[in-house]
Chains A and B, each alone.
Chain A
Amino acid sequence: IAGITQAPTSQILAAGRRMTLRCTQDMRHNAMYWYRQDLGLGLRLIHYSNTAGTTGKGEVPDGYSVSRANTDDFPLTLASAVPSQTSVYFCASSDSGDGELFFGEGSRLTVL
């Protein structure tokens, strides 16, 4: 059972470069989310999508963009990476909106 698949698992990136983190789910969940996890700061919501074709901003959206062209895919793009975007990024999905999120394994991004 795949659930949520994220790619890449880990990436080192030069500052100023563009980067897209991929997220795919096979559960046909309506809602998808991107969080970043930082030591001492916990998980913070970057962007979310309640259904295909719609997106919304979370707590820390600056420097990130998302798209939701279909139900399964929810890529996160850093247009011009900066060192403060060094983090572990988690994609998640939810079907019923009851608070149960299903998470991917995370993508560790280092911006130098």
Chain B
Amino acid sequence: AQRVTQPEKLLSVFKGAPVELKCNYSYSGSPELFWYVQYSRQRLQLLLRHISRESIKGFTADLNKGETSFHLKKPFAQEEDSAMYYCALNLGGYSTLTFGKGTMLLVSP
């Protein structure tokens, strides 16, 4: 069963527009959720985690247990935000993460 769902394969926006990358999860326990990002020709890296409730590069994500969602948001997209974004769920101990299928974000000038 798919534990992490990212419904959009591709999201295309113009520079300065708001961005929301959707992520829904299925997990009966207390979830640990993350967003990872892969920029062109760079390694996959952690963007943010729900526990820290921080803003990284202008992105935020709030865990909504009622809607089982962890959407990634940014009020004003920049061209350098263009990348592949993965939502991930830690199912058990020691970071055995389950990833969604990813959403490619393209920000046009």
A-to-B contact residues, CB < 8 Å: 30-31, 33, 35, 40-45, 48, 50, 56, 58-59, 90, 92, 94, 97-101, 103-106
Question: Are the CB atoms of A99 and B34 closer together than 8 Å?
Answer: yes
* Given A42-B86, A42-B102, residue A101 in contact with residue B97 (CB < 8 A): yes
Closest-by-CB residue of A relative to B93 is A97
Contact A31 B94 (CB under 8 A): yes
Number of interface residues of B (CB under 8 A): 23
Determine whether the beta carbon of A94 is less than 8 Å from that of B94: yes
Whole-angstrom distance from the CB of B42 to the nearest CB of chain A?
9
Q: Which residues of B contact A106 (CB under 8 A)?
A: 43
Q: Known A42-B102, A45-B96; judge A100-B44 contact (CB<8 A).
A: no
Q: Contact at B99–A94, with CB atoms within 8 Å?
A: no
Pairs across A and B, CB under 8 Å, 9 listed: A30-B94, A42-B6, A42-B86, A42-B99, A97-B95, A99-B88, A101-B36, A103-B44, A104-B43
**For chain B residues 56-109, which have a beta carbon within 8 Å of chain A?**
86, 88, 90, 93-102
Q: B94 to chain A: which residues have CB within 8 Å?
A: 30-31, 48, 50, 94, 97
Contacts of A98 in B (CB 8 A): 49, 95
Shortest CB distance B3–A (Å): 10
* Residues in A neighbouring B55, C-beta threshold 8 A: none
Give the CA-CA distance A33 to B96 in the complex, in Å: 8
The list of the 5 closest CB pairs from A to B, nearest first, reads A42-B101, A43-B99, A94-B95, A97-B94, A103-B44
